[in-house]
A and B are shown apart, each in its own frame.
Chain A
Amino acid sequence: MTDTVLKLDNISKNFGPIKAADDINIEVGQTEFFALLGPSGSGKTTMLRMIAGLEKPDTGTISISGRDVTNEPPYRRGIGMVFQDFLLFPHKTVAENIMFPLKMQGASEKDKRENLQWVSNLVHLEGLEERYPHQLSGGQKQRVALARGLVSRPSLLLLDEPLANLDRELRKEMEVEIRRFQIELAIPFVYVTHNQEEAMTMSDRMAIMRDGKMEQVGEKFSLYHDPASQFVASFLGSPNAFEGVVSSVEEGIAQINWFGHSIRARAHDGLQPGDRAVCYVKSEKISMLESGGALTGVLRDIIFKGQYADYLVSLGDGHEITVSGAPMTGLKKGAPMHLDWDPGKADAFRAQGGAQ
Chain B
Amino acid sequence: MSSNKRLFWWLVAPGAIFLILFLILPLASIVVFSFWRTESYTLIPDWNLDNYIRILTDWTYIKFLLRSLSMATIVSLICLVFSWPIAFFIARYGGKFKLIYLLLTSAPFLTGEILRVTALQQILGPIGVINMALSTFGFEPIQALMYTNTATAIGLTYLWIPFMVLAIYLSLLNFDFELLEVAKVNGARPLRAFWEITWPLNRAGSAIGVVLVFIPTLASSITSKFLGGPNGALYGNILANQFGSTGTWALGSAMGVVLFAISLIVLYIVWKMVGDLKRSGVTIKGGAEL
Q: Find chain A residues with CB under 8 A from B281 CB.
A: 90-91, 93, 132-135
Q: Can you list, as one digit per residue, whether each of B182-214 has a CB less than 8 Å from chain A (1) or not (0)?
A: 111111110010001100110000000000000
In the complex, how many residues of chain A place their beta carbon closer than 8 angstroms to a beta carbon of chain B? Answer: 27
Chain A residues numbered 120-175 whose CB sits less than 8 Å from any CB in chain B: 132-135, 148, 152
A87 and B184 contacting across the interface, CB-CB below 8 Å: no
Of A74, A80, A135, the contact of B184 (CB 8 Å cutoff)? A74
> Min CB distance, B101 to chain A, in Å?
23
A75 and B181 contacting across the interface, CB-CB below 8 Å: no
In the complex, which residue of chain A has the Cβ closest to the Cβ of B189?
Answer: A75
Main secondary structure of the interface of A (DSSP, over half): loop
B181 and A134 contacting across the interface, CB-CB below 8 Å: no
In the complex, how many residues of chain B place their beta carbon closer than 8 angstroms to a beta carbon of chain A? Answer: 24
Q: How far does the alpha carbon of A91 sit from the alpha carbon of B197 in the complex, in Å?
A: 8
B186 and A104 contacting across the interface, CB-CB below 8 Å: yes
Q: Does B176 contact A (CB under 8 A)?
A: yes
**Given A85-B178, A89-B197, A91-B201: A105 in contact with B280 (beta carbons within 8 A):** no
Q: Does A53 contact B (CB under 8 A)?
A: yes
Q: Find chain B residues with CB under 8 A from A87 CB.
A: 176, 178-179, 182
Q: Does A235 contact B (CB under 8 A)?
A: no
Q: Find chain B residues with CB under 8 A from A90 CB.
A: 201, 281-283
Q: How far does the alpha carbon of A148 sit from the alpha carbon of B186 in the complex, in Å?
A: 8
> Min CB distance, B147 to chain A, in Å?
45
**Given A87-B178, A91-B281: A134 in contact with B186 (beta carbons within 8 A):** no
A152 and B280 contacting across the interface, CB-CB below 8 Å: no
**Given A54-B181, A87-B182, A135-B281: A101 in contact with B197 (beta carbons within 8 A):** no
In the complex, which residue of chain A has the Cβ closest to the Cβ of B287?
Answer: A134
Q: Find chain B residues with CB under 8 A from A79 CB.
A: 185
Q: Find chain B residues with CB under 8 A from A83 CB.
A: 178, 182
Of A54, A89, A104, A132, the contact of B187 (CB 8 Å cutoff)? A104
Q: Find chain B residues with CB under 8 A from A75 CB.
A: 184-189
Q: How far does the alpha carbon of A73 sit from the alpha carbon of B180 in the complex, in Å?
A: 13
Q: Find chain B residues with CB under 8 A from A231 CB.
A: none
Q: Find chain A residues with CB under 8 A from B197 CB.
A: 89
> Min CB distance, B281 to chain A, in Å?
3
Q: How far does the alpha carbon of A78 sit from the alpha carbon of B187 in the complex, in Å?
A: 7
Q: Does A100 contact B (CB under 8 A)?
A: yes
Q: Does A202 contact B (CB under 8 A)?
A: no
Q: Find chain B residues with CB under 8 A from A77 CB.
A: 185
**Given A132-B281, A134-B281, A135-B281: A89 in contact with B185 (beta carbons within 8 A):** no
Sample of 25 A–B contacts (CB below 8 Å): A53-B184, A74-B184, A75-B186, A75-B188, A77-B185, A80-B185, A80-B186, A81-B186, A83-B182, A87-B176, A87-B179, A89-B196, A89-B197, A89-B201, A90-B201, A90-B281, A91-B200, A91-B201, A91-B277, A91-B281, A100-B183, A104-B186, A104-B188, A132-B280, A134-B287
Residues of B within 8 A of A (CB): 176, 178-179, 181-189, 192, 196-197, 200-201, 277, 280-283, 287, 289
